[in-house]
Structure 1
Amino acid sequence: MDLYDEMPQPLGFQTLAGNIGIKDTSDDFACVFSAEPCAVSAMFSQNLFAGPSIKLSRQHMRQGQPRAVVVVSKNANVATGSEGMVNAVELTKRLAAKLHCAPNDILVASTGIIGRPYPMNKIRGFVDKLKPESADCDFSAVARAIMTTDTIPKHVFARVGDATIVGIAKGVGMIEPNMATMLGFFFTDAALAQPVLDSIFRRIVDSTFNCLSIDTDTSTSDTAAIFANGLAGAVPEDEFEVVLHRMALALVKKIARDGEGATKLLEVSVKGAHDNAQARRVAKAIVNSPLVKTAVHGADPNWGRVAMAIGKCEQDTGIEPARVRIAFDGLEVYPLQLGTSDLRRLSALMLGEHVRIAVHLGCGGSEATVWGCDLSARYVSINADYST
């Protein structure tokens, strides 16, 4: 169940990646397709401004049997009106002709700037020159091609029995998923029935990608999907779920570490909650607090900001401050009264690249862990100049 940086690719999958020329000379097109039909589970953004890519992919999940996904990066194709849907449909039709499949066998994803139509002349010229029959299998290239403001490609590999799983993701900003993740895709040659795969994937997304936040903003383009073509045969379902969970969590941490302007991974664990929803709500309040995030960035031992973040969960009236415990990397800061030497120790702990905050609410037996990052001046700089 170990994770690897390099290992054999899942059987039956091929990849395409290249530069359409949407923004610069870096790759901005990626496609992964299977030679065989797949069991697929997919989850999408719940943002009310979700783009044509989301709407079309939802439709294809209902009507087809997807065995391919295409990603256009550096252009979200969101808030582009009826033209945006027409262009998304044309993209899938042109690519389907190349892949010798039906258009509704393709999921489409887009990521990048909002409010600008696809440069369709460039897309047509690029897709028409594709040669899928000579495609290789390079998931590293796909991980690079789906990047926008990411600084590193994000991919993981693992094995379960005779089967291989590969996972890729992108995302560093506009990240507080409500149903899925920024863009995250898994491909495996394991054989699992679609209902089983769907149940497993939804549980995993809920406990990993839905526990990730960079800046509290839910993207208009979030998509998470898994494709299983079964060419390696059946695998133990419980073992598959354990390994896939580890892979998803590894991608979550890669995304959090690479958050726009981030210098530290922030992990918040809440125990002793009334239920899981309360645990996650309190943990998100902490990890999303700009004051907590900036304190972590500057290694400022102002632990009171964590207490503040817990306290602003005003609807959780069962939380009593007298029962709450707060600790940073094992150092309890509340309800103890810290002296000068304790505060220096706390500051030293916060200088690390991975800062862990643990809270016990004293309300029950439920718990949740969420991940995020610190907030630096560079986040402001990146997003102040994003479209220019």
Structure 2
Amino acid sequence: MKTIEGGICAVEGVLASGSCENEYGVAVIVCEDSNASAVFTSNKVVAAPVIITKEAIENGKLSAIVANSGNANCFTGEKGMDNGRSMASKVGKKLDFKVNDVAVSSTGVIGRELPMNIINCLIDNALEGLENSPKASTNAAEAIMTTDTFSKEFSVETKLKNGEKVRIGGITKGSGMIAPNMGTMLAFITTDIDATSQELEKALKKAVDATFNMVVVDGDESTNDTVVIMANGRSKANIDENFQEALEYVCSQLTRMLAKDGEGATKFMEVEVNEASTTKDARNAAKAVVSSSLVKTALFGADPNWGRIVAAVGYSGVEMDERIISVSLASNQNNVKIVDQGVVNAFEGTKELEDAENIMKEKDIRIIIDLGLGNSTATAFGCDLSYDYVRINAEYTT
């Protein structure tokens, strides 16, 4: 597997574009006559575009996605449904696609009607700029940004077990209102694999469970979360375990970008849980630690407070034994075991505490937890909780 340029446009035949005006943006992605699948938010308050895209993808096919930023088109009633369908219809008519072959996504402020005069102009502009190029992918990624501070895209080429090559590219957005169960984030993935919608659904769900569902910025679950995969089949190659590995790698890289760009974030946190009894336990323990406000604030303050980490594992509900748990902190330069099989190493005056304090000052920090009870492992991704997070969200609509 190798990293390549191009994002979603690394895949032959995929067209993309983006157009922005002040706080609003529109991205259009075209992957004509593709088999497709998607995963959505589990929030009971569901945005109009999520409902529309669920309906569109029922037949397992998509040809295009239109996504806007600046307004979530959520809690907007029938008018919101009409506006979302109007977006799909506009793209479908221009590109000669059935309206049901166009997915719709929105992100931004909840509870306000879409400014359709602006959105329609942006759709027109985006449709005029469609092309297959790295710049087109970047333009689309930038158009869906809200409080993001940088655009997020990633692509790979991988060799299948039979020697055939396939490509996978993705873009995503999100920096706040992010929690497990599709934590406000959008992600759009394209590939040239030749797969049915059922095969894509299975592959996507497995990838999402290990990546996007393991990222926490603030613990709030959005109303609009959507991950869509579209496969145009141009490679003529079929899904195998190498494709699954590559898909999960693309999703994991996009997930890391989401965590690093958390609202107000100054540090990135990766929590790895090893030796758990089950995969479910490993994931629940990792998510508990990465979700903990006390761990997140300790990260911000560069405080190696192992007690907060162990406490989070304890209340996660997983099988554990405090007499055998181990906790390590690691950066790119250093690694220190602060708790070794229930024994605290990092206390006043020790080199372990000094090393731990230095690691906590780094920008990228790994927390490694060994439960000593089995062979299952999982990794969760997050960031610190800073003063700026409060400021950004206190001023979000005012």
What RMSD, in angstroms, separates the aligned Cα atoms of the two structures?
A: 2.0
2:182 aligned with 1:172, yes or no? no
Report the residue type matching 1:2 in the other structure: K
Tell me, in whole angstroms, the C-alpha distance in 2 between the residues paired with 1:213 and 1:9: 28
From 331, 338, 341, the counterpart of 1:333: 338
Deviation of the 1:236 alpha carbon: 5.6
> Which segment drifts farther, 269-278 or 101-110?
269-278
1:96-138 Cα deviation digits (max 9, x unpaired): 1111111110110000011100012333344456655x62121
1:116 aligns with 2:119: no
Shift of 1:201: 1.4
- SS in structure 2 of the partner of residue 157 of structure 1: strand
Summarize the Cα distance change of 1:179–1:130 in structure 2 as closer, same or farther, 3 Å threshold: closer
Corresponding residue for 2:256?
Answer: 253
Change (3 A) 1:233 1:16: same
Q: How does 1:1-388 map to 2 (within 5 A)?
A: 1-6=1-6, 9-19=10-20, 21=21, 24=22, 28-34=25-31, 36-63=32-59, 65-127=61-123, 131-132=127-128, 135-137=130-132, 138-160=136-158, 161-179=164-182, 182-235=185-238, 237-313=240-316, 315-316=317-318, 318-329=319-330, 330-334=335-339, 335-339=343-347, 340-341=349-350, 342-388=352-398
Q: C-alpha distance in 1, partners of 2:304/2:16?
A: 48
Residues 164 and 214 of structure 1: CA distance in aligned 2, closer, same or farther (over 3 Å)? same
1:290-336 Cα distance to aligned partner (Å, 9 max, x none): 111111112112221112212223x44x4221122222124222223
How many angstroms does 1:276 deviate by?
Answer: 1.4
Matched pairs, number: 380
Judged with a 3 Å threshold, the aligned counterparts in structure 2 of structure 1 residues 177 and 307 are, in CA distance, closer, same or farther, namely closer
Q: 1:232-271 CA distances to partner (integer Å, 9 max, x unpaired)?
A: 3215622222212111111111111111111111011112
Distance 1:198 1:365, change over 3 A: same
Relative to structure 1, the CA distance from residue 181 to residue 4 in structure 2 (aligned partners, 3 Å threshold; closer, same or farther) is farther
Contact 2:327 2:337 in 1 (8 A): yes
Comparing 68-77 with 186-195, greater Cα deviation is found at 186-195
TM-aligned CA distance change 1:157 to 1:27, over 3 Å: farther
Distance 1:241 1:113, change over 3 A: same
- Cα pair 1:177 1:222 within 8 Å, conserved: no
* Stretch moving more, 180-189 or 82-91: 180-189
Structure 2 residue matching 1:221: 3-state secondary structure: coil
Matched residue type, 1:99? L
Indicate if the aligned counterparts of 2:25 and 2:122 stay in contact, CA closer than 8 A. no
Quick one: structure 1 residues 84 and 27, their matched pair in 2 at CA, closer, same or farther if it must change by over 3 Å? Answer: closer
- Structure 2 CA distance for partners of 1:369 and 1:131, relative to 1, 3 Å: closer
> Is 2:267–2:383's contact at 8 Å kept on the other side of the alignment?
yes
Moved more, 175-184 or 105-114: 175-184
Query: What letter matches 1:102 in structure 2?
Result: K
Deviates more, 1:183-192 or 1:66-75: 183-192
Quick one: distance in 2 between partners of 1:259 and 1:269? 19
In structure 1, how many angstroms separate the alpha carbons of the residues matched to 2:388 and 2:357? 22
Q: 2-side partners of 1:345 and 1:357: how far apart?
A: 14
Could you state the TM-score of these two structures normalised by the residue count of structure 1? 0.92
Whether contact under 8 Å (1:42, 1:226) holds in the other structure is yes
The runs of 5 or more residues in structure 1 that have no matched partner are none
Does the CA-based 8 Å contact 1:64-1:105 persist in structure 2? Answer: no
- Report the CA distance between 1:181 and its aligned residue: 7.7
